[in-house]
Amino acid sequence: MRDYRASIIAMAFVALGSNPAMAEEAALDAAAGYDDNNTIIVTGVSEGYVASNSVTATKTDTPLLDIPQTINVVTREQLEDQAHHSLADVLRYVPGTTVGQGEGNRDQITLRGQNTTADFFLDGVRDDVQYYRGLYNIERVEILKGPYALIFGRGGGGGIINRVQKSPQTEAFYAGQASINSFGAYDVSADLNSPLNDMAAVRLNAVYEHLDSHRDFVGGERYAWNPYVAFKLGENWNLGLSYEYVNDDRTTDRGIPSIATGAGQPNRPISGYRDQFFGVPGVNRTKLEAHVAKLRLDGQIANNLSFSSTLLYGDYDKIYVNVFANGAATAQNGAVALSSYSDPTKRENFIAQGNLVWDVNTGPLEHKILIGAEYGDQKSANRRLNGTLSSATLNLANPVFPTVAFNILNRDTVSDVEFFSAYVQDQISIGEHIDVVAGLRYDSFDIEGIDLFPAVDRPFARKDDKISPRLGLIFKPRGNVSLYGSYSQSFLPRSGDQFLSLSVTQENLAPEKFTNYELGAKWDVRPNLNVTLALFQLDRSNATTPDPGNPLASINVGKTRTKGVELSVAGRITPEWQVHGGYSYQDAALAGNDSVLLGQVPKHQASLWNRYDFTDSLGVGVGIIHQSNQFAAIRTTATTTKLPAFTRVDAALYYDISDAVQLQVNVENLFDTNYFADAHNNNNISTGAPVNGRFTIRAKF
């Protein structure tokens, strides 16, 4: 281990501290119904579908009105009302966010034209392994748009997704739910909280899911549990210890291929094969076993000085095996080329964060100063073995699945990433009407590894030292209205999201750079209803993208630019009517060449979820998602596959048997629209599920 590791950890836990979920100020706690007697660790203030503040965006407890970038928050109440079971479910209702297929084994998204498998966080701590993240132990999901290197370090070029974990309370309750859908999938979960004494509480969340699908041969199971114990260490100090175990075993499904529509025209998804599986039953499979432990300490050093710290250790063992369509169909009932590989990964993460937050006045100026540090060590081992198929094609007229043997080594690497960051941020209030948010972050990213393939070991290494600025100006003509402008940067090392892109031939290339310019307005129409409007331009230099002709490789495309507008609304229109939704327009292309469009970026997206309560015990929900057409990969030729536009309608019915027991029915795709939800490349396209009902019973005592 490199010699400065011990000093970094000591600094993070003795001199500083870190946690994005610092203790709320008393006024906000009271407004949300919290106080020091019933909450040990507070993770955010929300009421219904609207959130009033976030710690994620600035690492300080800040009203959303005072944050000069776009943030969408999906609260626990909305997660339950929409019966969300995955991050993909959640993000389809967030305009400006495109869900990717992720090769059927992981969460993958595109934010403002930037595709990522790694820009995911748990309570502000990096959660970058490729897997499907659960929602059973999550209080809310926060989607931050634009580069956020100041707060999160490398990556995050288009934004990040942060899951806020449920935390212990000193009020006892016992809750659980069970649900089943029309495909045969079902799940049961429990959320149990109990005080141990006046100074401690424990919370246990657990889930079991049996997975099933409209797709032939696609299913699996996942189970997880998460005990979390918290202690009050005196009047102003809290200590929390969380451990999560996840076991996920499911079918990998890379969807359907495309088919040519005519000379010089974009390919389209092949029709009539919504349920057809293009893998091999029993072979296509992904398995994950994960252990994640988190230690957290936060408190008050003085009345105006806060301290917090987080230590996270994660051990992940993941493998996925894919047989998939590796070309377009030759005809509607013709043949489709197949390919295959096996990809095992092991990763061990150790991350320590630390923050000090100091509230101080200098004359007429009020400052909230953040000083922080982060250290991490991530060890990874990855191999890829290509398969040999008994038949290289699948005949659609008479599908016979081939046999496969994985016997051709294609990649074998081990790597050790060590990073250190130090940052400072000042939130300055200049009177009642003007705020400034300014900060700098220094990142040292050091990767060393060995390419074990071919037989001669080839070591590679690169170290990047980067400075990332952030500047925001907020003007508040009224207490409930803010107008803002912001500038922010981020970077991505050449090793990529998963440390697999760096090689001896690429180790001298500079990191990719992201620069975001944004103008916006936020309006708290009422304390329980807010509206946000943003205009942005995001430039990416030294950009790479997956090669449409070879999904295992990347190509350099130069500089890209995404320009757009986002509008969002969340909260109560009336006491009975809640809404959450918005609209986005995005134009993402190669800078200087508008004919080269970025993949998986629809120009228009709109969504709106509504819940209306007729009585205290009876309510209904109606939701709509619209997405214009998009290219499945970067459009470099006239025949690049285009996914058609679609509109999907969802609905729900709620009935409370009593204060403790609720019944709920959700119907997805109410009108049985035939659509194509997402893609991985030109010939791996996901089919949207047909009409699907889910019944849920929920109880809390």
Cα–Cα distance for residue pair 401/499, rounded to 1 Å:
34
> Distance between CA atoms of 242 and 228, rounded to whole angstroms?
4
pLDDT at site 41: 54
Query: Which residue, 611, 571, 517, 516, is CA-closest to 64?
Result: 571
For the chain, the helix, strand and coil percentages under 3-state DSSP, each to the nearest 5: 5, 60, 35
Q: How confident is the model at residue 34 (pLDDT cuts 50, 70, 90)?
A: very low
Burial class, 242, CB count within 10 angstroms (exposed 0-12 / middle 13-18 / buried 19+) = buried
Residue 44's pLDDT is 56
Q: What is the pLDDT of residues 227-256, one digit of tens each?
A: 999 999 988 899 999 999 999 999 999 999
Whether 491 and 468 have beta carbons less than 8 Å apart is answered as: yes
Q: What is the DSSP string of 382-416?
A: EEEEEEEES-SEEETTS--PPPEEEEEEEEEEEEE
Cα–Cα distance measured from residue 625 to residue 604, given in angstroms and rounded to the nearest whole number: 11
Cα dihedral 247, 249, 250, 251 sign: positive
Angstrom distance (rounded) from CA 56 to CA 151: 8
Closest-CA residue to 521 (of 75, 67, 74): 67
Residue-level pLDDT at 550? 55
Inform me whether the pLDDT recorded for 259 exceeds 60: yes
Phi and psi at residue 79, to the nearest 5°? -55, -40
Whole-number Å distance between alpha carbons of 380 and 149: 23
Identify the CA nearest to 397 among candidates 331, 337, 338. Answer: 331
Through-space distance between the first and last CA atoms of the chain, rounded to whole angstroms: 50
Among the residue ranges 196-200, 225-229, 373-377, 691-695, the one predicted with the least confidence is 196-200
Tokens of 359: 């509230």
- How confident is the model over 359-374, as pLDDT tens digits? 999 999 999 999 999 9
Backbone φ and ψ of 90, nearest 5°:
-65, -50
Tokens matching residue 491: 């970077």
pLDDT above 60 for 26: no
Residue 453, pLDDT score: 85
Mean of the pLDDT values across residues 37-60? 75
Which residue reads 């709509």 in tokens? 624
Residue 23's pLDDT is 32
Other CB atoms within 10 A of residue 87 CB: 24
Structure confidence at residue 25 (pLDDT): 32
CATH number of the domain at 491, please.
2.40.170.20
pLDDT tens for 119-178 read: 999 999 999 999 999 999 999 999 999 998 999 999 889 999 999 999 999 899 999 999
Q: In whole angstroms, what is the distance from residue 296 CA to residue 311 CA?
A: 6
Separation CA 84–CA 74 (nearest Å): 11
- Check residue 79 and give its pLDDT: 97
Q: What is the pLDDT of residue 553?
A: 52
Confidence class for position 21, pLDDT limits 50, 70, 90: very low
Q: Which of 183-197, 210-224, 538-552 has the lowest mean pLDDT?
A: 538-552
Q: What is the pLDDT of residue 352?
A: 97
Q: Rounded to an integer, what distance in angstroms lies between the CA atom of residue 488 and that of residue 404? A: 48
316: closest CA among 341, 286, 278? 286
SS3 495: coil
- Report the percent of the chain where pLDDT is more than 70: 91
Q: How many CA atoms lie within 13 A of 685 on its CB side?
A: 30
DSSP state of 567: E
For residue 378 the two structure tokens come to: 């991530």
**pLDDT given for residue 504 in this prediction:** 65
The predicted structure's pLDDT at residue 427: 97
Q: Please answer whether residues 601 and 588 qualify as being in contact, where contact means their C-beta atoms are separated by less than 8 angstroms.
A: yes
Mean pLDDT in the chain?
90
Place of tokens 């536009």: 645
Task: Give the per-residue pLDDT at 505.
Answer: 65
State how many domains the chain has.
1
Find all residues with CB under 8 Å of 284, minimum gap 6, and list them.
Answer: 104, 217, 251, 252, 253, 277, 321, 322, 323
Strand ranges, E, within 78-185:
97-99, 109-111, 114-116, 120-122, 125-126, 138-145, 159-165, 173-181
Per the CB < 8 A criterion, the answer to whether 164 and 22 are in contact is: no
pLDDT tens across 450-461, in order? 988 877 778 888
Rounded CA-CA distance 434/9 in Å is 37
pLDDT for residue 18: 34
> Can you tell me which residue has the tokens 């095992």?
344
Q: Say what the pLDDT of residue 14 is.
A: 33
Confidence of residue 45 (pLDDT cuts 50, 70, 90): low
pLDDT at 554 (0 to 100): 57
Residue 442 CA to residue 424 CA, distance in Å, equals 9
Q: What is the pLDDT of residue 10?
A: 38
pLDDT of amino acid 498: 83
Query: What's the pLDDT tens digit per position in 405-428?
Result: 999 999 999 999 999 999 999 999
Q: 596-615 pLDDT, tens per residue?
A: 999 999 999 999 999 999 99
Report whether pLDDT(22) > 50.
no
**Domain range for residue 284?**
5-700
Judging by beta carbons within 10 Å of its beta carbon (0-12, 13-18, 19+), is residue 392 exposed, middle or buried? middle
Q: What confidence tens digit (pLDDT) does each residue in 374-401 have?
A: 999 999 999 999 999 999 999 999 999 9
What's the pLDDT band for 594 if we cut at 50, 70, 90? confident
Distance of CA 61 to the CA centre of its chain: 21
d(CA 500, CA 128): 13
- Compute the distance between CA of residue 571 and CA of residue 531 in angstroms, rounded to an integer: 9
CA atoms within 13 A of residue 294's CA, in its CB half-sphere: 25
pLDDT in tens, 473-519: 999 999 999 999 999 999 999 887 887 767 666 677 788 999 999 99
Q: Find where tokens 């995005």 sit.
A: 586
